[in-house]
Structure 1
Amino acid sequence: MTPIRNRRLAATAVMGALALTLAACGSDNPTGATSSSSSSSASADDSASTLSGEIVGAGASTQESAMNAWIAEFQNANSGVTISYDPVGSGGGRTQFIDGGTDWAGSDAYLTDEEVTAAEATCGGEIMELPIYISPIAIIYNLPSVSTQINMSAETIAKVFNGDITMWNDPAIAADNEGVDLPDTAITVVHRSDESGTTKNFTDYLSKAAGSAWPYEASGDWPVEGQQSAQGTSGVVQTVQGAEGTIGYADASQAGSLGTVAVGVGDEFVPYSAEAAAAVVDSSTPVSGRSEFDFAIDLKRDTTESGNYPVVLVSYVIGCVNYPADQVDLMKAWFGYIVSAEGQDVAAGAAGSAPISDTLRNEAMSAIDAISAS
């Protein structure tokens, strides 16, 4: 058997455990939108309605809201298709994909060079990394007595999360929040307990924007010992919600009613928004040395451009360029729908993400069009 055929058999086995995860999504339209037939790759046209088969993915929990909406819309338009996605986290998703257990991975961090080599061996050829979800990472906090948004410079954020600033009324925080009555309350840092692409992006921001205040390299594993931890994005949000004085980081789509930090950029403090996150992506550069269909991005975390929010994640779908013949049309249609204007609008409605640019879409479609039988 070829490696990709082994992947197909492994994915089928995993499907049995995951099929119920999104079964309800297949019969409902969570966005309230009607599938359009105008997108040639969106699989909502008459020819795509003949699609059938089962595919499975796993990975970033930040993609979960968008992924649920994508799956619901795609399955509504293609009744013969079953899709499952397990939001185990970026690290778990990449591992499952490399091990041949899934058809694609969702990840908030692009593959390392070592992971690329391993993934190519599993795929039996080239891999693709497609930016499909752009979202700010919100720095969330629970401070009921403060009704205004709190400002923090990158250095202050780093000192808070490194445990060097331990009280909410610390002079460093007060200096950026003139007139705000900050409480004499201890700060409790909450971080991800699992390997996380959100953590990788957040620590990447701190390492590039905060200087010596953050003495660690970017990592998907939280580097500071002795702090409060929680599993997954939802776990961090729930933990912050549960105790006054807490602070954490999470995909902005799940910040809810918690307070959020406006981040120092140049001479201003920028609150998170999809538009401000997308602005950073547009000014960033591709990762060097990658293959033709690998569109990983090095984000400009230390930007000083007005209106840019650099605490941002770009989430990817990671897949093979070669699939078994009976999966080629389905994988093309599925990936094509995700990157289509229609699919991006669905994600924006469900998760508040920023639609990818036409440039990113065209790059992604060059890879999707190249999918062929192994």
Structure 2
Amino acid sequence: MNFTRFGRPAVIAVVAALALSSCAANEGAAPETDSASALTGTINAGGSSAQGAAQEAWIAAFQTSNPDLTINYDPSGSGAGREAFIAGGSDFAGSDSYLSDEELAGTFGSCAADTTAVDLPNYISPIAVIFNVEGVDELNVDSDTLAKIFAGTITTWNDPALVALNEGVTLPSTAITAVHRSDDSGTTKNFADYLGQTAPDVWTEKASDTFPFQTGEGAQGTSGVVDAVTNGVGTIGYADASRAGDLGVAKLKVGDEFVAYSAEAAAAVVDGSPLVEGREANDLAFKLNRTTTNPDEYPLVLVSYAIVCTEYADPAQAELVKAYVGYMTSAEGQAEAEASAGAAPMTTDLQDKVAAVLETIK
């Protein structure tokens, strides 16, 4: 995707403030805080648990440079995060799925009257299909087989469909326990969107934050899914790739090849995807191209968003949110997310586009 290049004064201001702080610290004295540039107050936010590791790193770095600022982020899940933001209980929401048309048609408690909210990408990451099967270190799956596992129609690991995809691998007769999110989850919506686009004859339910089938085992949050897969027998699940740890991770069939996830392959899919049609120009929600056959792209990817007001009821709070979201989506913030959470850095064009929207927020 080609975006028009924009200047980034909001991001430059944040980076400049960080640089000044660093220079002063290197001089050896404890400098007085410049009240004209220091950020003071509290930001309350929550939502996406996929963003959890990145948020921890972002908060630590940003609060170090702004010691009078407190940032609280609750990784309660994308659905809970959007609900809290809509109700006015937080300053922004982290969400692995963008605002629905129904949500956009409503009101937002932290926003000024008669204004709305927008989706700003801040975190791109592959979703890993994680598994724990004794004696199995590598696993290939295609979307049709994966859909049948989570829909509950493939129930054992030595099912002929899995055997055919894994030549030379001895798959046991162990029962499959497919672990899904029990809470409203943007990761679930992305997982379901991938299966709905690539295996529509099997995955017939519309993608949503709620897992659609009464099958398998439900677990709360990303950490709950990872724990259930880790501690179970014959388990498989889906989670942000940053949390895969030592679990087995399946390769997905893309075109004629089986592809392992990578930050680069996730970023490539996003770069080739259009924005959602019919929205305001400052809403940067992506319609991801899951049906790619290019093995350099990994289609099971999530774009996570910072959902913010176009105008805040409290202008002072707007400045805090703009500064923090500006940092997260800057080159420095994206490098921090890559180092701490394995995220795929947003392209410079996309960073510029987000910065241009942030300039307009009041």
How does the TM-score come out when normalised to structure 2? 0.89
Contact 1:39 1:45 in 2 (8 A): no
Say yes or no: does 1:316 pair with 2:305.
yes
Which stretches in structure 1 are left out of the alignment for 5+ residues? 1-37
Contact 2:89 2:110 in 1 (8 A): no
Per-residue deviation, residues 278-332 of structure 1 (Å, max 9, x unmatched): 1110111100111121100000011111221111100000001222232233222
Which residue matches 2:56?
68
Q: For 2:271, which of 282, 286, 295 is the aligned residue?
A: 282
Distance in 2 between the 1:113 and 1:261 partners?
34
Query: What secondary structure is seen at the aligned counterpart in 2 of 1:327?
Result: helix
Q: 1:122 and 1:79, CA in 2 relative to 1: closer, same or farther beyond 3 A?
A: closer
Worse-superposed segment, 119-128 or 238-247: 119-128
Per-residue deviation, residues 193-241 of structure 1 (Å, max 9, x unmatched): 1000000000000000112021211111111104211100000000000
How far apart are residue 40 of structure 1 and its match? 3.2
Distance in 2 between the 1:115 and 1:122 partners?
14
Give me the identity figure in percent: 52
Say yes or no: does 1:258 pair with 2:232.
no
Aligned Cα root-mean-square deviation (Å): 1.5
Which residue matches 1:17?
none
Q: Which residues of 2 match residues 1-374 of structure 1 at below 5 A?
A: 39-42=12-15, 43-46=17-20, 49-119=37-107, 123=111, 124=113, 125-147=115-137, 149-323=138-312, 324-372=314-362
Distance in 1 between the 2:253 and 2:300 partners?
11
Distance in 1 between the 2:199 and 2:218 partners?
22
Per-residue deviation, residues 171-205 of structure 1 (Å, max 9, x unmatched): 11111111111112110111111000000000000
Distance in 2 between the 1:186 and 1:256 partners?
23
Contact 1:131 1:316 in 2 (8 A): yes
Query: What secondary structure is seen at the aligned counterpart in 2 of 1:167?
Result: coil
Distance in 1 between the 2:317 and 2:100 partners?
27
Distance in 1 between the 2:317 and 2:156 partners?
55
Contact 1:59 1:92 in 2 (8 A): yes
Worse-superposed segment, 80-89 or 122-131: 122-131
Worse-superposed segment, 127-136 or 113-122: 113-122
How does the TM-score come out when normalised to structure 1? 0.86
Distance in 1 between the 2:232 and 2:37 partners?
49
Report the residue type matching 1:218 in the other structure. A
Q: 1:185 and 1:154, CA in 2 relative to 1: closer, same or farther beyond 3 A?
A: same
Report the residue type matching 2:105 in the other structure. T
Which stretches in structure 2 are left out of the alignment for 5+ residues? 1-10, 21-33
Query: What secondary structure is seen at the aligned counterpart in 2 of 1:172?
Result: helix
Distance in 1 between the 2:79 and 2:109 partners?
18
Distance in 2 between the 1:306 and 1:140 partners?
20
Distance in 2 between the 1:263 and 1:327 partners?
43
How far apart are residue 127 of structure 1 and its match? 2.0
Distance in 2 between the 1:343 and 1:271 partners?
26
Report the residue type matching 1:44 in the other structure. L
Query: What secondary structure is seen at the aligned counterpart in 1 of 2:316?
Result: coil
Contact 1:49 1:79 in 2 (8 A): no
Query: What secondary structure is seen at the aligned counterpart in 2 of 1:105?
Result: strand
Distance in 1 between the 2:48 and 2:315 partners?
27
How far apart are residue 122 of structure 1 and its match? 5.4
How far apart are residue 268 of structure 1 and its match? 0.6
How far apart are residue 118 of structure 1 and its match? 1.8
Report the residue type matching 1:349 in the other structure. A
